[in-house]
Structure 1
Amino acid sequence: MKSLQEKVLELYEDHQKTQIPLSEVEIRLALEANGLPATPQLIEFEQRYRGMKLYADIVAIEFGLIWDGGAPFDPTVAAVEYEAFDPEDGRDHQYLITCAHSEFYIQFGLDEHGRYYENGQLKFNTFWELLEWYVRGGR
């Protein structure tokens, strides 16, 4: 029987990537061009999970932070959707960045620390924890 780690790695390795991979420099430039900090957590998420698809029933959820950008890719015109918060409002994060597109009824987000949110509510401290939940059959 496969361990949880093996199942998550298999899911990660087998997923259909539908977006062209971006370099660390391209990711950094695109985030900064959109007024976002290029934190290690955001760069890692985009490098590892850009274009990954998971399914909620039959509805695809495609992950990524950076959308469009033309061909060839131009980080200065790439779109990153996010909500910014006043640093003085008591939150431990300043940004909530859309991290997936879908026809599913949930808003998917990632903060600058790499924590995963659904409809503005913290669900997992890392995206990897979401994948572990998913392979356990979570829905």
Structure 2
Amino acid sequence: MHLSKRAAAFLAQQQWRADAVRDPAVVARAFTRLGLQPSPALLDFQLTYGGLMLYAGLEPICFGLLHGKLARGDFSPPHKADTLIHEPPDEDRSHHLFACADTLYQMDFHLDEQGRYYENWQLHANSFDAIIEDKAVWAELRAQPYERVYFGYFEEGAIPVAALAEAFQVAPYPDLPPDLIYWGRNEQLVVRRSADKLMVFSLTEPADDVAARGEQLLATYTNAPSMRERTQATQQQAQQWATERAVRPWWQRLGAWLMR
């Protein structure tokens, strides 16, 4: 694991579920039952991040390939403790996928053999370390008076980093290892590009100007009309960020207590 100081500090502040599976022998037996061997990336993920609890709004997401008796989502009974949930390769996919989170949140979380991270079957990062780095930047951003001034969907992989840097005059976010998720920053703006979403946050720059640049990027590099409906459907999340920020600490403490 190679995390920035920011990400390591973020990880040290998180909660961990009591039934985390971190015995390499237990992990190996779970793979053997499927006729497989754990890749180094998958073994490292389980030993490093098994039991880590992050939150989607108020819902805890407990990461790990294996879970014990406290499971509450897909890994809960009648699913047996210490058993992998596995999707073998098929005609559309050449790699295995392993469920890597236990939660009631309505989203699927997977890793492939290389340790690449997927949400709802879409590749989001080349490693789970990159997700921790991403979460750490989010935490840093929430501690500052930024406002989200633009949100848009685009076709997967469509917008190059160079185009983002030119449009918003941003440089790579400090001390952030490069991955599929890109963060850029200047004195006024912070830009985040994930697999299919573009977000821009501002301290004082006018929202209309920023939004115009975002729309121009989508028009240039993706089929903007086909994405507009998805973008509009998510605008209601604009206030959710501030709301979660206010209530999350209390709910996180309660959630952690209930999961022990």
Q: Which category describes the TM-score, using the shorter chain as reference length?
A: 0.7 to 0.9
Please tell me whether Structure 1 or Structure 2 has the larger radius of gyration of its CA atoms.
2
Distance in 2 between residues matched to 1:83 and 1:136, nearest whole Å: 31
Q: Which has the higher contact order (CA 8 A, sep 6+)?
A: 1
Structure 1: segments with no counterpart, 5+ residues:
70-75
1:67 corresponds in structure 2 to 67
Q: How far 1:8 moved relative to its partner?
A: 0.9
Q: How far 1:90 moved relative to its partner?
A: 6.3
Q: Which ranges of 4 or more aligned residues in structure 1 deviate by more than 3 Å?
A: 89-92
Report the TM-score when normalising by structure 2.
Answer: 0.44
Whose helix fraction is larger, Structure 1's or Structure 2's?
Answer: 2
Report the TM-score when normalising by structure 1.
Answer: 0.79
1:122 corresponds in structure 2 to 123
1:82 corresponds in structure 2 to 86
Counterparts in 2 of 1:35 and 1:12: CA distance versus 1, 3 Å: farther
Distance in 2 between residues matched to 1:23 and 1:119, nearest whole Å: 28
What SS class does the counterpart of residue 136 from structure 1 fall into? helix
Structure 2: segments with no counterpart, 5+ residues:
70-79, 139-191, 193-240, 242-260
What SS class does the counterpart of residue 97 from structure 1 fall into? strand
Question: Quick check: 1:37 aligned with 2:41?
Answer: no
Asked if 2 retains the 8 angstrom alpha-carbon contact of 1:109 and 1:118, the reply is yes
Q: How does 1:1-139 map to 2 (within 5 A)?
A: 5-18=4-17, 19-68=19-68, 78-86=82-90, 89=91, 91-93=93-95, 95-137=96-138
What SS class does the counterpart of residue 61 from structure 2 fall into? strand
Q: Tell me how many residue pairs correspond in the alignment.
A: 127
